[in-house]
Chains A and B, each alone.
Chain A
Amino acid sequence: GIQVEQSPPDLILQEGANSTLRCNFSDSVNNLQWFHQNPWGQLINLFYIPSGTKQNGRLSATTVATERYSLLYISSSQTTDSGVYFCAVEGWGGYQKVTFGIGTKLQVIP
């Protein structure tokens, strides 16, 4: 199956700083999502981005499918951005299960 690697595993930021989270995957994918898991455990959809670039407020994401990676940019970070960020991919060909990376744990300090 597809392997998903996320980096860095842990990140501590001062409030207001910018950051880039990376997701590498081992094979071509049909779909890719970024999630934020808040401290209460809920997974919030950030982006559905199999290719290209999308922006939503202070967050943006870019997926370069041909090179098998995706980047999540967080600008002007806030304490509410703290939590774990997951990348999840789905392969091609019939029904393919979604594979999750193990996440990047982000802590934003005031």
Chain B
Amino acid sequence: DGGITQSPKYLFRKEGQNVTLSCEQNLNHDAMYWYRQDPGQGLRLIYYSQIVNDFQKGDIAEGYSVSREKKESFPLTVTSAQKNPTAFYLCASNPRGRAGELFFGEGSRLTVL
């Protein structure tokens, strides 16, 4: 079945370590997104990419980095510069021509010890 796969689902990290969250989609969607969710809050946009080899900062990009070398893949690196990295991270994509119709993966929960 088509969908968006995020891994790992749960991740623990020590302070000062970088960690990379994987996001893969087989929906043939052009655009992909990373969102962060904190308890009791809505979703905030970290980065987005509308085409391969291009990506843009969202509202809270500081301390994060991304790459888009393949259409199917949009990994997110949480660097040691991110001051409050403990959160739930959600990857999304949308089909061409339906810019506001987002489809989400199951999420990755990152805890910094």
Grouping DSSP codes into helix (H, G, I), strand (E, B) and loop, the B interface class, with mixed when no group exceeds half, is loop
| Nearest-Cβ distance from residue A22 to partner chain B, whole angstroms | 15
Q: Which residues of B contact A30 (CB under 8 A)?
A: 99-100
Number of A-B contacts (CB under 8 A): 60
Say if the beta carbon of A43 comes within 8 Å of chain B.
yes
Residues of the A chain whose Cβ atoms lie less than 8 Å from the Cβ of B101: 31, 33, 45, 48
- Give the most central of B40, B98, B101, B106: most A CB within 10 Å: B101
Check if B100 sits within 8 Å of A41, measured CB to CB. no
Number of interface residues of A (CB under 8 A): 26
Which residues of the partner chain B approach A96 to less than 8 Å between Cβ atoms? 99-100
The reply to whether B50 and A50 form a contact with Cβ atoms under 8 Å apart is no
| Bound Cα distance from A34 to B48, whole angstroms | 20
Indicate if A83 sits at the interface (CB-CB under 8 A): no
Determine if B42 and A48 form an interchain contact, defined as CB atoms under 8 angstroms apart: no
The size bracket of the interface on B is 20 to 34
CB-nearest residue of chain B to A38: B106
CA distance A95 to B55 in the complex (A): 13
B48 touches A86 (CB 8 A): no
A97 touches B45 (CB 8 A): yes
The stretch from A53-61, A73-81, A99-107 touching chain B is A99-107
- Cβ–Cβ contact A43 & B90, under 8 A: yes
B42 to chain A, nearest CB (A): 4
In the assembled complex, which residues on chain B have CB atoms less than 8 Å from the CB atom of A41? Answer: 37, 88, 90, 106-107, 109
A48-B100, A103-B42 known, 10 other contacts, Cβ within 8 Å: A30-B100, A31-B98, A31-B100, A41-B109, A86-B42, A97-B45, A97-B48, A97-B58, A98-B100, A98-B102
A residues engaging B (CB < 8 A)?
Answer: 4, 29-33, 35, 40-43, 45, 48, 50, 86, 88-90, 95-98, 100-103
Question: Would you call B43 an interface residue if the criterion is a C-beta within 8 Å of the partner chain's C-beta atoms?
Answer: yes
Whether the Cβ atoms of B42 and A101 lie closer than 8 Å is yes
Measured CB to CB, the closest approach of chain B to A36, in angstroms, equals 11
Q: B17 on the interface (CB 8 Å rule)?
A: no
